[in-house]
Structure 1
Amino acid sequence: MPSARGPGPSSRSRARRLRADPPPEPEPVPPARLPPRGSACLLFPNPVPSPRRSPRPGFLPRPRAGLPGPAASSGPSPSPPPVPSPGPSPVPRPGPLPGPRGCSCRPQRVGRLLRAGPGAFGGRGDGVLGGVRSRGRSGALRPGSISLCAGPGGGSGRWVEMRESMDLGERGRAGADGGPVEPWARYDPWGTAPESPYEQPAEPGTRARRRGVIVAVALAALVTGTLGGYLGARYERDGGARTLVLPDPAAGPERPAGSVADLAARSLPGVVTLRASGAGEAGTGSGFVLDGRGHILTNNHVVAPAADGGALTVTFSGGQTLRAEVVGRDAGYDLAVVRVRGVKNLTPLALGDSEGVQVGDPVVALGSPFDLPNTVTSGIISAKERPVTAAGEGEQGGISYVDALQTDAPLNPGNSGGPLLDATGHVIGVNSAIRSAGGTGEGQAGSVGLGFAIPVNQARWVAGELLDHGRVAHPVIGVALDSREDKDGALIGSDEDAVTPGGPADRAGLAPGDLVTAADGKPVTSTEDLIVRVRAHRPGDRLRLTYVREGRAHEVTLTLEAED
């Protein structure tokens, strides 16, 4: 709204006057033809370049889309006033100057722009852009703005006045009358570029430079994130900043003498694995060293495939493999002695006494079950003097009769010939047979807890015979037994020659048809039982027999002889 007080000098603004064509002294404008309030003044951005940002030569602001441009004028357009370049030193800020002559309007505050038609200001010329929103009661120009007032007349006789405000006070920044801040209120000709309703074209290469900066920042972020993740993972894995200290290994348990670990450590160097092949047969078994000369004791059925020109090798616990030769073997006792040459520092195993073994004594079995060397199992003695008859493998195996030690230590195919140790590490038996789910013998079914070993006392004697003579003389009583009928004992045949004339049985008074029911006080329930009891002795030993004749029991003692 026009103020009653005319514009006067102000210390917060300075003015320049520009006349396109110097007009004669303007006549006063009648009050009735004064321009409507709020439509005679225009505020727009100061085109004076900022010292901090200089526009390109010839640059003109372009209005934003949707805003009308200036109307065409029928008269000649005044030349734009020269824009002085700001000097190196700040421009002083004078006080407000008086308003233009003949213009009764006050400087207005622009809210939006519109086109004014002809005669809008009481003259005959074309309309100009005018503001439609009053700037309030302050009467001062907005900071960094230019006021354009239109006077009477038109065509070449009109004049304009531009006033540039240098007022940078808080009122101009906050908006007149406490109103909202307009975009132009933040304009500062000596500061950074304000938000403008006009778009300015970007400098050539600006977008390319921006894209380069974005790519560089993205790559830096990627590298930094990757490195940070790696360092964080290392930090977390290593337990943070603390030094990772692992506890010292705990001391192992003590292994007293006689423990399974102690027995295995001391005995395994003397245990070997034997592989025999020949005549279309092959087998694997175990054995142990008898002496430092290279003699090894094993089962007969282990070396039987190599008996007639086959191949036989011995592998020690350390992995050394040597060829071996058969010194002697016996199918009836299922024992054999082989020898290796050219080896030193052997570890012979000590032989114990099988007569002193008691049921329940702990035992350890060593061998190569299923060709797995250095296998150790443990158990107890389950029974003693168990009569076992086992058929060897192949034609060379034969049938063995063993008064065996029974153990529940797991024995499997391949354990045959290996040692059975007592708690002191002495050999008390030679593992020979197992009873599997399918029957008796070295079946492939595996252990069911019923294993049998030849007592070491018998094995020692047989091994000595084989080393000295290459063969073993079996003890006999001089009778032929009839196994066709089950009589709950061993039945002597009914033929006249069933009892060898002059033999041990004939001299003791035994006759054909007698039924032997006990030997040395131990029951005899079958023909095999009597053979086992006899084979448990040596030639020259005395044997007490109990027999039944015509329903009456009799007892005799005889001396065993060697078989021819």
Structure 2
Amino acid sequence: MDKGNGLPGRQGGSQAHWGAAGQRPDGDADSRPGHDPYGTPPYGQPGPWAPAPPVQRPNPTPPAGTFVPPPGATTPPAGTGLPPGAFPPPPVASTTGTTALPGAQPAGRYDPWAVSHAMPPAPGAPAGPEPEPAGRRPVRLVAAAALIALLAGILGGTVGIYLERNGAFSDVRLPQTRAESNPPAEGSIAGIADAVLPAVVTLHVSGGGAAGTGTGFVLDDTGHILTNAHVVRPAGANGVIEVTFGSGDTARAEVVGQDSGYDLAVVRVTGVSGLTPVELGDSDAVRVGDPVVAIGAPFDLEGTVTSGIISATERPITAGGEEVDGSDISYVNALQTDAPINPGNSGGPLVDVNGRVIGVNSAIRTGDSGGLEGGAQGGSVGLGFAIPINQAKDVAEQLINTGRATHPVIGVTLDTGYLGDGARVGSSTGDPAVVPGGPADQAGVEDGDVITAVDGDRVRSGDELIVKIRSHRPGDELTLTVERGGENLELVVTLGESAGE
């Protein structure tokens, strides 16, 4: 820093004593020989104003015999002839070591010409900047800093929003809770599905220009699989039934036996090992409100699990009837559930909370048809029906052992045109309405009798009477409530049997 160049607005300093060849008295070498500290700034370069005329500066070295006051003296001693106060003020040292007051001399030095001989600006040169009041500069600095901070905040926020909206932050990591690898709780839907799914299979059936998809479940380790009769019906005598297991493996299956009256069939796969059979439960112990799980392949979506409750028990339904002669009509005293069942669920298991099969999903009531259909193409409306497993077990055993199942019968013909309450015994063909020597004949049932209840359960139609009878086995005894000539009679009948279809 050039000290005390004598220009207006510059801080004064010691400039008086210059040695030869541009050497400053404080020992700092000036690299510009012959440099005039009072020339045009910067040294030797064109400046904003013309150089000042030469100034004859007094010789800073006092002539011989001239009194030089000692450092710090302010009053001339007696005999000097100098008036009081003739000495310049003593140098003022900075308290910080870095800043001196205007006009102050460096500590330990005294230059009587440094302050009193400051050079004026050259003629016509602009005056230097006017000193700013001391109290104004901090205020302006604070305001400028606040403005800069505000602009930086607005700019930063705008840039941040733009980058965020345009996906610039590609390394975002969101917090996530890792699930524990514990097995599903017993009795939970996940636990039931985990236990039963390995035993559930999907059947793809084709033949005779028809094809369909259904579900089944493994009964034993020899390869027997239970499903619905309407699922395997498209195969006919020469069709193909392909079974897909939960593992993804496939195998061909053959029909062991089927019965359209119960809408049940058994198929068998061979050459397959490691089969996982289901556990059969007791459908007679099922109560309304019990939670259940349905497993199947609705719309060919294999391994689908849905849940609900038992909505009703012993719900008499008939399904099928697609054949002209009605030989495919099934009569089921069904379990009703609101677990979603859709086309493709047919033949799949309805399971209780213990993972035991209590029914075979067979029919749904559809919103478009208003009727009950096995394998209907409509969607679930919360009205699904399953064949109770106790009945299905009996039929499956007969199909496996003999290839066909027997039906319990009472030996009567019912009047299908009767529109009243109950089932009226009667024939429109001229044949006897009561089979001579049959169970009903032996129990005392006569032509024209109206059967209104079975074992105390009300009968509303002929179909309901058939359903209630088929929910039993041949040889079972039933009490029929019969209305004859305005009187109610109770007749005990022992069920006979007939070959199934």
Same fold (TM over 0.5): yes
In the superposition, the TM-score normalised over structure 1's length comes to 0.58
Q: Alignment partner of 2:313: what SS?
A: strand
Match of 1:377 among 306, 311, 322: 306
For residues 341-370 of structure 1, the C-alpha deviation after alignment (integer angstroms, 9 at most, x for no partner) is: 111111100111111111111111111111
**Using the alignment, how far apart are the partners of 1:477 and 1:370 within structure 2?**
40
Contact persistence 2:208–2:236 (CA under 8 A): no
Match of 1:323 among 252, 261, 284: 252
**Using the alignment, how far apart are the partners of 1:89 and 1:459 within structure 2?**
119
Q: What's 2:193 paired with?
A: 264
- Matched to 2:258, the amino acid is R
Q: What's 1:426 paired with?
A: 356
Q: What's 1:411 paired with?
A: 341
Asked if 1:451 corresponds to 2:384, the answer is: yes
Distance 1:173 1:519, change over 3 A: farther
Asked if 1:179 corresponds to 2:125, the answer is: yes
Q: Alignment partner of 2:460: what SS?
A: coil
Aligned residues: 359
**Using the alignment, how far apart are the partners of 1:180 and 1:546 within structure 2?**
132
**Using the alignment, how far apart are the partners of 1:550 and 1:424 within structure 2?**
51
Structure 1 residues 43-192: aligned runs within 5 Å: 90=33, 138=53, 175-177=121-123, 179-180=125-126
- Matched to 1:353, the amino acid is D
Distance 1:270 1:511, change over 3 A: same
Cα distance, 1:255 vs structure 2: 3.5
Q: What's 1:528 paired with?
A: 463
**Using the alignment, how far apart are the partners of 1:92 and 1:513 within structure 2?**
147
- Matched to 2:207, the amino acid is G
Distance 1:265 1:90, change over 3 A: same
Distance 1:311 1:523, change over 3 A: same
Unaligned stretches of 5+ residues in structure 1: 1-87, 94-110, 113-132, 142-170, 182-229
Asked if 1:356 corresponds to 2:285, the answer is: yes
Cα distance, 1:139 vs structure 2: 6.1
- Matched to 2:363, the amino acid is A
Asked if 1:549 corresponds to 2:478, the answer is: no
Structure 1 residues 205-354: aligned runs within 5 Å: 249-251=178-180, 255-354=184-283
**Using the alignment, how far apart are the partners of 1:277 and 1:322 within structure 2?**
14
Match of 1:460 among 393, 399, 407: 393
Match of 1:511 among 446, 453, 473: 446
For residues 148-168 of structure 1, the C-alpha deviation after alignment (integer angstroms, 9 at most, x for no partner) is: xxxxxxxxxxxxxxxxxxxxx
Distance 1:236 1:368, change over 3 A: closer
Contact persistence 1:304–1:397 (CA under 8 A): no
Q: Alignment partner of 1:429: what SS?
A: strand
Distance 1:338 1:534, change over 3 A: same
Contact persistence 1:363–1:422 (CA under 8 A): yes
Contact persistence 2:223–2:275 (CA under 8 A): yes
- Matched to 1:179, the amino acid is A
Cα distance, 1:463 vs structure 2: 0.3
Q: Alignment partner of 1:481: what SS?
A: coil
**Using the alignment, how far apart are the partners of 2:231 and 2:259 within structure 1?**
12
Cα distance, 1:177 vs structure 2: 3.8
- Matched to 1:479, the amino acid is V
Distance 1:174 1:513, change over 3 A: farther
**Using the alignment, how far apart are the partners of 2:296 and 2:381 within structure 1?**
17
Cα distance, 1:280 vs structure 2: 1.5
Contact persistence 2:398–2:404 (CA under 8 A): yes
For residues 393-418 of structure 1, the C-alpha deviation after alignment (integer angstroms, 9 at most, x for no partner) is: 66798110000001111111111000
Q: What's 2:408 paired with?
A: 475
Contact persistence 1:301–1:393 (CA under 8 A): no
**Using the alignment, how far apart are the partners of 2:183 and 2:402 within structure 1?**
47
**Using the alignment, how far apart are the partners of 2:277 and 2:320 within structure 1?**
29
- Matched to 2:231, the amino acid is V
Distance 1:315 1:92, change over 3 A: closer
**Using the alignment, how far apart are the partners of 2:311 and 2:176 within structure 1?**
45
Distance 1:316 1:370, change over 3 A: same
Q: What's 2:329 paired with?
A: 399
Cα distance, 1:281 vs structure 2: 1.1
In the superposition, the TM-score normalised over structure 2's length comes to 0.65
For residues 24-66 of structure 1, the C-alpha deviation after alignment (integer angstroms, 9 at most, x for no partner) is: xxxxxxxxxxxxxxxxxxxxxxxxxxxxxxxxxxxxxxxxxxx
Q: What's 2:294 paired with?
A: 365
Distance 1:508 1:374, change over 3 A: same
Q: Alignment partner of 1:379: what SS?
A: strand
**Using the alignment, how far apart are the partners of 1:304 and 1:246 within structure 2?**
54
Contact persistence 2:213–2:344 (CA under 8 A): yes
**Using the alignment, how far apart are the partners of 1:89 and 1:555 within structure 2?**
142
Cα distance, 1:468 vs structure 2: 0.8
Identity rate of aligned residues, in percent?
A: 56
**Using the alignment, how far apart are the partners of 2:391 and 2:327 within structure 1?**
19
Cα distance, 1:249 vs structure 2: 2.4
**Using the alignment, how far apart are the partners of 2:482 and 2:388 within structure 1?**
27
**Using the alignment, how far apart are the partners of 1:413 and 1:248 within structure 2?**
38
- Matched to 1:424, the amino acid is N
Q: Alignment partner of 1:411: what SS?
A: coil
**Using the alignment, how far apart are the partners of 1:381 and 1:247 within structure 2?**
38
Q: What's 2:473 paired with?
A: 538
Cα distance, 1:444 vs structure 2: 2.0
**Using the alignment, how far apart are the partners of 1:288 and 1:380 within structure 2?**
21
Q: Alignment partner of 1:322: what SS?
A: strand
Distance 1:266 1:180, change over 3 A: same
Q: What's 2:495 paired with?
A: 560
**Using the alignment, how far apart are the partners of 1:553 and 1:314 within structure 2?**
53
